[in-house]
Amino acid sequence: MSIELSNKKVLQEIRMMDMELDRFILSAADYLELVTEAYASNIHWSTSLEGNPLSEEEVVRLTRQTFAGKEEKDPGPQQEIINHLYGHFLRDRLKLPWSPGTIRAVHSMLTEDTGTKGIPGEFRRTHASVYDGGAEAFIACPPEHVEEEIGSLLTWLNSSGQALEPLVCSTVFFHEFESVHPFRDGNGRVGRTLFHLLLQEAGMRNSRLCKIDHHLLRNPTTYYDLLAFADESGSYSEIIEYFSLCVMEAYQEAIDKYRGKDLLSRGLDEGSIRLAQKARSCGTAFTLREACGWLDSVGEQTVRARSNHLVDLGILTKEGRTAATRYRFLDPFEPFKARMKEMGYVLSGIA
């Protein structure tokens, strides 16, 4: 396996942009809308490449509806979109190290009730080839070697792979996964989902806010040619460079959008900014007394006034009265998470 990094500056720039996205604080409504657009875009581009007929506008509508906790009465091809949304919100179940069971679980989650060929979560038992224009362009490893090949890939990922830059590790993993082609159907969608999850697990937490798949897949010929070139040559430099440039474009696009909605640049005093940032990192309800501990030498009445102003801006939510008052950072995904908990999923944190 050959990996020559001629684009270290690009990789460093991406890491800096990932940290920059942490600095923005938006109202819950604006945050929900931008996250909806990003998730819908990534899911649309990934699934449409494999034949899902829904337009991006339809996927945005379905994503918005699903985040509101509503069910689709007659899912059809929409079930695939809903499954992808569930998958992106179950990161706590998919923490490294990964096992073959992790891979099977993601495939099962994405393909359940979609009419996929084969059994959801089961490695293929037949030979597989990829065709281009009727010609056999790629032959996957024999079915009797799938378990072994996936095991070897995961051994690499769980050890030396994690020493690489997150984007390098994720790109190499994605290519190797596609080369094994472990399932009868759904390999591209599962691979791209694992790519996104691995980016976040490896340190690029805010990659989920970026429309990465649009930039990767808008020219499918280039995308497939680079996958094939890495197979034929054993060199990953070219595909890493392509993925890096696409991801950098997606990050820059996201930063521009978040900067335009950032409430911290709209005249908030330093105390209110710190209060908002601490509330977000806290992740749970807090009292005025606790908030006072975050702001040195600031009285309770001032903290109360600042907290209430953040409520008015749609950053915090307020519960109870007088001594029982609690504030917390407003999570716009509460209806969706409540729906997932009803279905037996365990969730934590804000998307």
pLDDT the model gives residue 94: 85
Structure token pair of residue 29: 């409504």
Query: What's the half-sphere exposure (Cβ side, CA atoms, 13 Å) at 307?
Result: 28
Handedness of CA 279, 280, 286, 290 (dihedral sign): negative
Q: Amino acid letter at 228?
A: A
Domain shared by 140 and 196, yes or no: yes
Domain shared by 251 and 273, yes or no: no
Domain shared by 112 and 47, yes or no: yes
In whole angstroms, how far apart are CA 215 and each of 72, 133, 246, 253? 29, 24, 5, 11
* Residue ranges for the chain with pLDDT beneath 70: 1-6, 73-74, 130-138, 345-351
Q: Amino acid letter at 298?
A: V
> Does residue 18 sit within a domain?
no
Tell me the three state secondary structure of residue 243.
Answer: helix
Domain shared by 162 and 311, yes or no: no
> Does residue 16 sit within a domain?
no
pLDDT the model gives residue 131: 62
Alpha-carbon gap, residue 87 to 17, rounded angstroms: 25
pLDDT the model gives residue 267: 83
> Does residue 8 sit within a domain?
no
* Residue whose token pair is 């337009």: 55
Domain shared by 278 and 237, yes or no: no
Domain shared by 249 and 315, yes or no: no
> Does residue 6 sit within a domain?
no
Domain shared by 231 and 165, yes or no: yes
Q: List the CATH number of the domain containing 223.
A: 1.10.3290.10
Q: Of the candidates 230, 261, 292, which is a domain's last residue? A: 261
> Does residue 72 sit within a domain?
yes
Convert 7-30 to b/e letters by CB count within 10 Å (16 or more is b).
beebbeebeebbeebeebbbbbeb
Number of domains in the chain: 2
Domain shared by 169 and 58, yes or no: yes
* Residue whose token pair is 């094994």: 180
> Does residue 89 sit within a domain?
yes
Alpha-carbon gap, residue 116 to 122, rounded angstroms: 12
Domain shared by 72 and 119, yes or no: yes
* Residue whose token pair is 């930039």: 215
Domain shared by 221 and 310, yes or no: no
Alpha-carbon gap, residue 347 to 350, rounded angstroms: 9
* Long-range contacts, stretch 93-97, CB < 8 angstroms, 24+ apart: 93/346, 94/197, 94/201, 95/201, 96/157, 96/158, 96/162, 96/201, 96/202, 97/154, 97/157, 97/158
C-beta neighbour count of 259 within 10 angstroms: 13
Q: Of the candidates 219, 239, 261, which is a domain's last residue? A: 261
* Helical segments of the chain, H only: 8-21, 28-48, 56-67, 78-88, 100-111, 146-157, 166-180, 187-201, 212-217, 220-233, 237-261, 270-282, 288-294, 300-312, 334-342
pLDDT the model gives residue 133: 58
Burial of 299 per CB tally in 10 Å (0-12, 13-18, 19+): exposed
pLDDT the model gives residue 348: 43
Domain shared by 65 and 96, yes or no: yes
Q: List the CATH number of the domain containing 332.
A: 1.10.10.10
> Does residue 15 sit within a domain?
no
∠ CA 217-132-125, nearest 5°, is 95
Tell me the three state secondary structure of residue 284.
Answer: coil
Domain shared by 77 and 154, yes or no: yes
Q: Of the candidates 261, 293, 311, which is a domain's last residue? A: 261
In whole angstroms, how far apart are CA 306 and each of 28, 177, 276, 294, 301? 17, 50, 9, 13, 9
Q: What is the pTM of this model?
A: 0.91
Provide the domain limits for residue 83.
Answer: 24-261
- Residue of 6, 70, 66, 13 lying closest to 40 (CA atoms): 66
> Does residue 231 sit within a domain?
yes
